[in-house]
Structure 1
Amino acid sequence: MDILRPALININGRIYRKNLIKEEHYEDEEEEDFSYSGPVTDQCMDEPCDTNNIEQTEKGFRCAIDVPSVLYKYIIGKKGETRKRLESDTKTSISIPKQGVEGQIVITGPQKSAVASALTRVEVLIESFRRKQPFTHFLSFALNHPQVQEGFQRFKEEVLEHCSQDGGVDDTIFQNPAKLHLTIGTLALLNEQEVMRACELLQQCQDVIRDTTEGKPLALEVRGIEYMNDDPSMVDVLYAKVSPQDGSDKLQQIADRLVEHFVAAGLMVREWERVKLHATVMNTLFRKDPSAEDKGGSGRQNMKDREAFDARNVLEMFGEFNFGACELNSVQLSQRFSSDCTGYYCSSGHVTFS
């Protein structure tokens, strides 16, 4: 059925069919070949629909596209085989900057349709392998307010006092209180230009955010804990629940609109219909890597060599634990594996609610 109904990829409003064909290996990754299907609602066309960035020259046609340097190797391929195949199949020439040098991939050819075909294939390869890159940044609501940090420290002390004999429960799996946050969505920003573009997208959301909050900070309550897998005796991530004090869904609206905006721009991949708003308080990833971050998913990521913990007593005793209240007044574009002077993640950009 995977062959009959291949996955579809949306790139700049165009839909591509993803055909799984194992051809080359890049450090345990598999290259995949693709075919362009045209818009889903339209009939397939011989030539891709978007050729606006292809210009005519004295020698034929030319197209240049910005590509982060970390993705060059996927267009070049092992011993240059991928580029050679693309050039041979499309009767074009593909020029790629040296590894580590940020620049443009330039496609030239005698016919516009040939350059368009090569462009399509390069774009699909780039999009495919971009999705395999680890995330570098994430949109976040910071919860490292003094009252919430104090509540979290109280929670940690009481859990260790009453539940330290439960399997897998120890002080290494607790969140750093200075990094308490809500993850809205993750991004793989592969060069400085993409970081700047993400900052611009975030700024574009400011008016929508302020319309939702009526130009005021949002008062939040952090109360209660939950887990996402189906076995409380084998838990990897425990979350604190967060809700606006006025009972509204304003925070959810802001998070969903942000994801919608970044997904439409191609900088974020949608994982859920709605953002799951939660603050990680215990995570077994911290056991070996205190700097690990939660992707905001099911809580079962990176399972290799991961020791779960028995959360039954924690859930029973602290199910309605009150971590405290705070006022939220900004959304951050946070940099993974970083710390600023407050201990929170370094910010590449932010917008305020008021």
Structure 2
Amino acid sequence: MIYNVGTRRYRVSTPLDASSPSSTERFCAKNSFQGSQTTKTHRITITIARALHKYLIGRQGSTLSSIREASHCKVTVPRENSKSDTVELEGSEGEIQKARDLIDKVVKENLQKVPYTHFLSLPISDLDVQRKISEFQRDIHGEYFKSLSDTSFNAPASMHVTIGMLRLLTTSEIKGAVKLLKSLHQEVYDLLGTRSLVVKVGNPAAMEANPSKARIIYLNLEDFEDAQRLEKVCGLVRSRFTDAGLIDEVRPLKIHATIMRAAQDSPTTADEPSQAADDRRRDVRVNAVPMLRRYGELSFGACKLGQIQIAKRFHFTDTGAYDSEGAILLP
């Protein structure tokens, strides 16, 4: 069954068909007899991303109980500590279909509550530009933003241009997204030709309309030869992923690289996962006017953007760059 959530098309399972099971659905029929009437019972498994299981279960099991009662179908969800993403349904065809309809409804209502897991990006990997950005961050932290935590400043090795946020909840969705990206290789080359995508990095700015109450400071990027080439490439990739239902953002594309998100840390533990630690940050506002008055036209030089990748949020390599699920190289 496929349904739309915003611009995203989401598949939970295939139509019920006991005669031709799919790879994610297995039927095990058995006969039970009641008097002279034969009742055929089916057992199937459907794939539901683990991130959605808590919504399927509900508070103290309330949602799962209501699905069972309304459908008269036996619904088994993996235990909390299990890594399985398969949900088992057992009952008649009608009972199973009713349960699946109810499960689809729960998934549809809660899908966008699940945090984004990945993002499409162009990494800024030039070491000289990274060094200059690091020095700039250190200077403005000490001179203008002393109250902010160190985590307010993005690691230079992780700098990138974000094309779009992705919510890839299963291995098959990740593989599908990588396959789609690689299929765009020729279209991207048709736009760029044989010329490398070299951009100027600089001109710090505040994301907010009122820089005296700024939260995000970013750098502008501009193609040396034609400013529209970078925008066209990002727009092409974003539109293809939107058409495929993998990007559901409504905000317009903005070409930039974030270097600071003003925040102060809440108490945390040394072994806390990075995503949990990020969630504990307390966003604040700062007056960026004096800093921008001094550094608003600062240039960090030029760098070549060498690839478009699907990066995994909160996961980094030893160098500090984001882990990549897959990428296409640029000229």
Query: Normalising TM by the smaller chain, what interval?
Result: 0.7 to 0.9
The residue that corresponds to 2:292 in the other structure is 315
The one of 55, 63, 68 equivalent to 2:18 is 55
Instruction: Please point out which of 43, 50, 56 is paired with 1:69.
Output: 50
TM-score scaled by structure 1?
0.72
2:99 is aligned to: 118
- Residue of structure 2 in register with 1:325 after alignment: 302
Contact 1:166/1:309, CA 8 A, preserved across alignment: yes
Q: Which amino acid in 1 is paired with 2:253?
A: V
Q: Secondary structure at the match of 1:83?
A: helix
Work out whether residues 142 and 181 of structure 1, in 8 Å CA contact, stay in contact via their aligned partners in 2: yes
2:255 paired residue number: 277
Alpha-carbon offset, residue 128 of structure 1: 3.2
Q: Name the CA shift for 1:283/1:158 in 2 (closer, same or farther; >3 Å).
A: same
Q: Which moved more, 1:74-83 or 1:343-352?
A: 74-83
Between Structure 1 and Structure 2, how many residues are aligned? 301
Between the aligned partners of 1:204 and 1:88, the Cα distance in structure 2 is 45
CA contact under 8 A between 1:240 and 1:279: conserved in structure 2?
Answer: yes
How far, CA to CA, are the matches of 2:178 and 2:14 in structure 1?
28
Residue number in structure 2 paired with 1:44: none
Q: Structure 2 vs 1, CA of residues 276 and 286 (structure 1 numbering), >3 Å: closer, same or farther?
A: farther
Correspondence for 2:128 among 133, 143, 147: 147
The 1:157/1:285 distance shift into structure 2, 3 A limit, reads: closer
Q: What fraction of aligned residue pairs are identical, expressed as a percent?
A: 25
Give the 5 Å matches for 1:120-135: 120-135=101-116
Match of 1:97 among 78, 86, 111: 78
State the Cα distance separating 1:82 from its structure 2 match.
Answer: 1.5
Q: Write the deviation string for residues 264-315 of structure 1: whole angstroms up to 9, x where unpaired.
A: 434332232x3111111222137669x989xxxxxxx979733322110111
The amino acid that maps onto 2:232 is Q
Task: For residue 283 of structure 2, give the secondary structure of its aligned residue in structure 1.
Answer: coil
CA change 1:78–1:150 in 2 (3 A) is: closer
Greater share of helix? 2
Who is 2:283 aligned against?
A: 306
* 1:137 and 2:100 aligned: no
Q: Which runs of 5+ in 2 are unaligned?
A: 20-26, 30-39
Amino acid at match of 1:195: I
CA RMSD after TM alignment: 3.5
**CA offset digits 1:300-331 (Å, max 9, x no partner):** x9797333221101111211211111111201
Aligned pair partner of 1:335 in 282, 306, 312? 312
Aligned partner of 2:240 in structure 1 is: 261
Q: CA deviation at 1:51?
A: 6.6
Supply the AA of the counterpart residue of 1:279.
A
Q: 1:229 aligns with which of 208, 214, 222?
A: 208
Residue 216 to residue 118, structure 1, CA distance change in 2 (3 Å): farther
* TM-score of the pair, normalised by structure 2: 0.76
Q: CA deviation at 1:220?
A: 0.9
Alignment partner, residue 36 of structure 2: none
